[in-house]
A and B are shown apart, each in its own frame.
Chain A
């Protein structure tokens, strides 16, 4: 099975160290390209003017918010079913990154909303769902660190992540329903798939850049967690010796 190949932390570290420089390079290139295309090449929108450029940091952040949560749920399932040693680390290392992206999606959304809607916050279905997702992230991070035994925290967080993941579509559906009941359907919507290529390319470049950025941080954080685990093992060795 493919997972077994990464089960050994030493092998994982070897692999991580090998691909890290490439990932860092690719991240830099993609983000630089995305920024250049988004800020200088892409045209202003005929309705929204230059405020549409917020899209190039907002939409990738929102993508990452969902993507990272999905990854956490997958890692949690792997952790609970196969008791894979790296899965817990991957889930816990992902959570703060995902929370940061979700926060960015919310704040940039708000900064986009102010010139478009005239207010900083609308209880729009998407914004509300992302806000709830942010709370799910915070809960996950809180329970991870709530136990004296980090292993217990990781397992509890894994169960919570799976329960949360089952709930995400239900929350999305219920918020959509609630929103159509309470809100006139005149809120601004993004262009959808009919987006102009000059706007699509910077968006894709930034999306890829954000994804690579996440991969780099994830590898570094897992590495750091592995060393942390060794340090804890050394502590218990010292206690045994004493």
Chain B
């Protein structure tokens, strides 16, 4: 299976289950909408926590979708075929991650302005929010893929993934929020975005290696 083949196959599968992506976006918006009930409807306070709320709920939404990333392929044996194919497993994993991001990260970026508006976040920061999420959400998919691969065949795999993955999400969360905060405060956003990009590049190297090793273990 070629790289593009895997992406298009996964995308076709995802499109067939459009409701899944829609559910994740719905979860994203719904969870964010809970916060005003927790902290009160005061507009300034909501605007102050908006970047954090958007990022934290985005992390949780990505988590929701991770368990199924490899599960179907693992259970029907496609994973073993992928491991046997001449395409390196690392590349296959990247294709799966890209498909995952296109069906999870991208919809979240599209939905994020809605939450920003609900939370009275000044709209000048929207381009920064979108850029930060564009750089940050692929990292979430990449790290998440390692967690998903490691827990294949585990008892209680679904509960295990957040425990493994959330601590590793913290740097992305920190720089994602600080980029938007900087934009809101009128500070330069470039360093924050560059750091997000650096984390993305590191994940782009580490996660295919670790993820492919985990997938091979699952196949043994």
Contact = CB atoms under 8 A, between A and B. Distances in A.
The reply to whether A and B meet directly (CB within 8 Å) is: yes
Interface of A: 80, 132, 135-136, 138-139, 142-143, 146-148, 152, 155-156, 159-160, 162-164, 166-167, 170-171, 173-175, 177-178, 181
A163 B146 contact: yes
Given A138-B163, A143-B160, A175-B174, 20 more contacts: A139-B164, A143-B151, A143-B154, A143-B164, A146-B151, A146-B160, A147-B155, A152-B217, A156-B151, A156-B214, A163-B210, A164-B167, A166-B202, A166-B206, A167-B167, A171-B168, A171-B170, A171-B171, A177-B178, A177-B195
Given A135-B167, A152-B220, A174 B146 contact: no
B140 interface: no
A146 B157 contact: yes
B156 interface: yes
A132 B217 CA distance: 27
Contact of A136 (B154, B167, B178): B167
Chain B at the A interface: SS class: helix
A147 B214 CA distance: 13
Q: Which of B174, B175, B202 has the most CB of A within 10 A?
A: B174
Contacts of A163: 143, 146, 168, 206-207, 210
Contacts of B206: 163, 166
B56 interface: no
Q: Which of B155, B157, B170, B210 has the most CB of A within 10 A?
A: B170
Given A132-B167, A135-B167, A143-B164, A159 B175 contact: no
